[in-house]
Amino acid sequence: MGPFVEQIKGYKNLIVALVFLVWILYFIVSLPDSTIHRAPGPRTASISACKSAESPSLLSSLPKELANLTHLLYWPPTPGDEGDILASTSPQTSTYRLRGPAQASYALGGYLEAILVARDHRGRPKTHGGDLFRAQLLGPGLKAGVPGDVQDLENGTYLLSFPLLWAGQAHVQVRLIHSSEAVGVLQRIWREKRATVDFRGYFRGPTGAEETVICNVDPQSTGAKGPTCQYRDVVSSELWFCAQPPTLPCNSLVGHSSGSYLKVTVPHDEALLAWRVTDKVLRQGISPIQIRKAATGKNNLALPPRPPCRPGLRASKPSGFYHQDVWHSLSCSGRTFSTADRILGCLAGHVIHMIGDSTLRQWWEYLRDTVPSLKPVDLHGIYQVGPLMAVETARGIVLNWRAHSWPLRCLRAPVASLHSVAQELSGLAGGPHTVVVLGLGAHFTTFPPSIFVRRLAGIRAAVAALLAREPRTLVVIKLANTGYKSVYGSDWFTLQINRLLRAAFADLRVAFVDAWEMTSSLALPDNIHPGRLIVSNEVDVLLSFICPA
């Protein structure tokens, strides 16, 4: 059980552990309801836990952005109208209109602003905010689209703003993803449930006999009546728990898989109704508009002067838009890599380590499928968790993908193949030829935010260490994309996850690929595994960071 050696070895690991502990402490202190974000204390763990002292001096080494999670995860509150089924926000009665007078045409480079009034099922205006609306400006004839900014004025009114980035036709589309009442349910689940899914751990004894138990991110959620087995990542101190098998020892854990989705009861009828109106388009409130370029202008696009793509850039809002199915970043001058030769030319001499979930595996698959000379190597890996590898020997390209470790929902996979992100990063020398791509989020929406914060603490420390020993290493963070609309995974959870991801790496020299906006801009159905058009544009952003010029 190499990765799970219990003792923290060496000074570096001690520091990582201290940073992690202090971060968790900070997290607990800064949340309004501290009872629900208890760190999973090793209780009857059969492998002894390592205790570390907390050092206040380390507080200053944490990113400022993460210090106040109450602020970071703020969402306008929904007062409880328990039992009033018709008081939740309705997509049928909510309307939006232009903020100013309608114009015959609009100037390229300007903005279109609109006011949205949320109403309940009786048609009464809402008096509080908290609804999750998603707005888009679409130009279907031009294969164009951009996410609109939705500002919650917290009195039932929302301000919508759309940058006018292409010349030609455009129309507004607004969707109610979740009413504030439904968000209230998600919020309660996020705070009160330790876990809404569980996992299976497979233990194998010397005779080959197997025992299967429930595993999870905290000891209580393993359903164990008796002792639990605790597994601690030697690099990041991340914890994992399994009920102790009836006869086999803790160190005979060999397999991992998804378990069950746990029953999540929605408390009130009102909330049930709120759930029925998930992801509904509002009646069109604004006629299609015409965007004209300046009389002297040559360009059909309003692209500001942008620097080449490099890590550490400030994020722009929105981060980009589509035109003719090509994503144009607004923060850096991205490039398109439309042929296998161009991709090969960019990747030449690089080793790319992708570590994340299946949405990141899509990037690996896209490159494998698009570049014929990039040959996949059968490492006898389990496809769902990897490791996957593809190589191009003539130009010296190695492309790896492997899953982030638990809490991964997957078919049965060897535990030995589940390496933590921190563990993988700690084994990389880094350098100008090394690219690290991280893509986590979708598997963390079924636990309280403290679980993801703890994971990010370890990953952040590992990224910081990698960049300290080799500053020329390129680290790219793929944000989580839109898709799920359930109590186990939803766009609302994903928004929160992305806030944590942004904050965790805010002060490090890393690059972001805003997969949230890249999957929010076109009139395509949300899909947790986006189609090839989106994936190819996401990979182009990655390649733009590897090859900015």
Ligand X SMILES: *[C@@H]1O[C@H](CO)[C@@H](O)[C@H](O)[C@H]1NC(C)=O
CB atoms within 10 A of CB 82: 12
We find the least distance from the C-beta atom of residue 124 to ligand X, in angstroms, to be 12
Q: Which is nearer to ligand X, 30 or 370 (CB)?
A: 30
Distances (CA, A) of 543 to 285, 305, 344, 501: 39, 20, 10, 21
Q: Which is nearer to ligand X, 30 or 486 (CB)?
A: 30
Q: Which is nearer to ligand X, 1 or 25 (CB)?
A: 25
Spatial neighbors of 248 by CB under 8 A, at least 6 apart, are 203, 204, 205, 209, 211
Structure tokens belonging to residue 311: 């890590």
Nearest CA among 105, 97, 120 for reference residue 176: 120
Contact criterion met (CB below 8 Å) for 311 and 510: yes
We find the least distance from the C-beta atom of residue 117 to ligand X, in angstroms, to be 7
DSSP per-residue letters across 422-437: HHHHHT----TTEEEE
DSSP per-residue letters across 354-386: EEE-HHHHHHHHHHHHH-TTSEEE----BTTTB
How many Å apart are CA 447 and CA 216, to the nearest integer? 10
Q: Which is nearer to ligand X, 153 or 468 (CB)?
A: 153
We find the least distance from the C-beta atom of residue 101 to ligand X, in angstroms, to be 18
How many Å apart are CA 449 and CA 348, to the nearest integer? 39
Helices (H), 427-448: none
How many Å apart are CA 254 and CA 36, to the nearest integer? 32
Contact criterion met (CB below 8 Å) for 79 and 101: no
How many Å apart are CA 474 and CA 80, to the nearest integer? 47
3-state SS assignment for residue 447: coil
We find the least distance from the C-beta atom of residue 72 to ligand X, in angstroms, to be 8
We find the least distance from the C-beta atom of residue 129 to ligand X, in angstroms, to be 9
We find the least distance from the C-beta atom of residue 27 to ligand X, in angstroms, to be 12
Q: Which is nearer to ligand X, 32 or 83 (CB)?
A: 32
Q: Which is nearer to ligand X, 117 or 254 (CB)?
A: 117
Q: Which is nearer to ligand X, 154 or 269 (CB)?
A: 154
Q: Which is nearer to ligand X, 68 or 173 (CB)?
A: 68
Q: Which is nearer to ligand X, 29 or 523 (CB)?
A: 29
How many Å apart are CA 439 and CA 42, to the nearest integer? 28
How many Å apart are CA 362 and CA 358, to the nearest integer? 6
Q: Which is nearer to ligand X, 155 or 486 (CB)?
A: 155
How many Å apart are CA 529 and CA 446, to the nearest integer? 18
Nearest CA among 547, 538, 473, 458 for reference residue 510: 473
Nearest CA among 463, 455, 508, 461 for reference residue 12: 461
Contact criterion met (CB below 8 Å) for 374 and 390: yes
Q: Which is nearer to ligand X, 40 or 130 (CB)?
A: 130
Q: Which is nearer to ligand X, 119 or 306 (CB)?
A: 119
Residues lying near ligand X in the complex (CB under 6 A) are found at: 68, 70-71, 74, 153, 155, 157
Contact criterion met (CB below 8 Å) for 202 and 509: no
How many Å apart are CA 180 and CA 537, to the nearest integer? 32
Contact criterion met (CB below 8 Å) for 542 and 363: yes
Q: Which is nearer to ligand X, 319 or 496 (CB)?
A: 496
487 torsion bin: left (phi>0), alpha (psi -120 to 50), beta (else) = alpha
Q: Which is nearer to ligand X, 71 or 317 (CB)?
A: 71
Tokens 């960049």 correspond to what residue?
467
Cα radius of gyration (the chain): 24
| Residue in the shown chain whose Cβ atom is closest to ligand X | 71
Nearest CA among 93, 89, 84 for reference residue 181: 89
How many Å apart are CA 304 and CA 301, to the nearest integer? 9
We find the least distance from the C-beta atom of residue 280 to ligand X, in angstroms, to be 22
Q: What angle do CA 332, 333, 339 make, to 5 degrees?
A: 130
DSSP state of 442: T
We find the least distance from the C-beta atom of residue 70 to ligand X, in angstroms, to be 4
We find the least distance from the C-beta atom of residue 155 to ligand X, in angstroms, to be 4
